[in-house]
Amino acid sequence: MRFPRFDMERMQSQWEHKVTYDLSESGVEALTLAEITRDPKELMKTKLGYAEGVGREATRALIAGIHPGHEADDVMITTGTSEANFLALASLVTAGDEVVVIMPNYMQVHGLATALGARVREVWLREERAWTIDLDALAAAVNPGTRAICVCQPNNPTGQVLSQAEVQSIVRIADQHGAWIVADEVYRGAERSAEESPSFSGRGERILVTGGLSKVYGLPGLRVGWIVGPRERIEAALEIKDYTTIAPATLSEALTEIALERRKQLLERARFLINERWPLLEDWAAGHSRVLHWTPPAAGAICFFSYQYPIDSMPLVDRLIREYSTMIVPGIQFRAERHLRIGFGMPSRVLHSGLAAIDRLLTTID
């Protein structure tokens, strides 16, 4: 397998602990162990042996509970949503398949499909229609050779959400050709309104939903994710997991149960932070409305801007990192040049200072 370089993750890994203002993050401010643990003494009793490969039944039942039409046996715990996506695609796709990726998208799925020897067809959300899906273009791209359609709901990087009707239409298009859907729902629950985005789960026999604790729950350091889907696909994914991480991290799994039991509260926290901080970014953007264009995000702590400055996104972000110790994501890392993804889930003082740093850079370009 030859993996294309995952440029965004490489950049973030290289710089996130070095820059002063990291506005490249897409989740909400992380919780501390003290904030998530009810009784640290309980945790001290955790035996640090190997966990069950598929994950504890009680944890899986909690995850099944947030995926309509599923039960514990349809769930496996993974090391982050990244491993979930990896196992989902690696267990489905073989060389010569076609994979349709709804773009823009978290580029892991695009790179993985390529590494697995698939031919990737991109179907782009329509920016001029507020980043909505072009169902005709999707229907034209999917064919009997399509093994999987990869979709991110809510979408990274645009923060847009597919409606019930759109989700249903995507399922129908996939069904017509026997294609699978791999739906990355890691941002589900981070909607600005109280209404949770429609999930793909429970809508058909060839659907794998991935997700995890990294974004909405504010627990990326636990590295916990999951796959929800038909049992035989969970079995197939487990056979590959024997080659990747074998089993979930025991301590993380213990904390996952606590987080999922407090799901309502953690989702309210995420929603509160997103609603508190979005106006800060929006006000800043309004001051640049001559050169920046955006559709306000419906979910997630990210906004995807197009811009009219005479500089490409990578050199822009490179200068921002090196000269102003501030990181955002260049659109080119989503194959969308002259775009920028700016996160707003970090503490307000970081957001304020990071935006001020962007301003300082922009005055040298404008």
Residues that bind ligand PLP (CB under 6 A): 26, 80-82, 106, 152, 156, 184, 186, 212, 214, 220, 225
Rounded Cα gap, residues 332 and 29, in angstroms: 25
Q: In the complex with ligand PLP, which residue's Cβ is closer, 186 or 361?
A: 186
Residue 322 structure tokens: 């090196």
- Quick check: 304 and 294 in contact, CB under 8 A? yes
Q: In the complex with ligand PLP, which residue's Cβ is closer, 122 or 175?
A: 122
Rounded Cα gap, residues 365 and 152, in angstroms: 33
For ligand PLP, the nearest residue by Cβ is 80
Q: In the complex with ligand PLP, which residue's Cβ is closer, 259 or 361?
A: 259
CB of 154 to ligand PLP, least distance (A): 9
Q: In the complex with ligand PLP, which residue's Cβ is closer, 25 or 74?
A: 25
Partners of 284 in beta bridges? none
CB of 223 to ligand PLP, least distance (A): 7
326-327 and 21-22 beta bridge pairing: parallel
CB of 84 to ligand PLP, least distance (A): 8
The alpha-carbon radius of gyration of the chain (Å, integer) is 20
CB of 24 to ligand PLP, least distance (A): 10
CB of 156 to ligand PLP, least distance (A): 4
**What 3-state class would DSSP assign to 96?**
coil
CA distances from 333 to 1, 104, 338 (A): 21, 10, 11
Q: In the complex with ligand PLP, which residue's Cβ is closer, 104 or 361?
A: 104
Residue 264 structure tokens: 């309502």
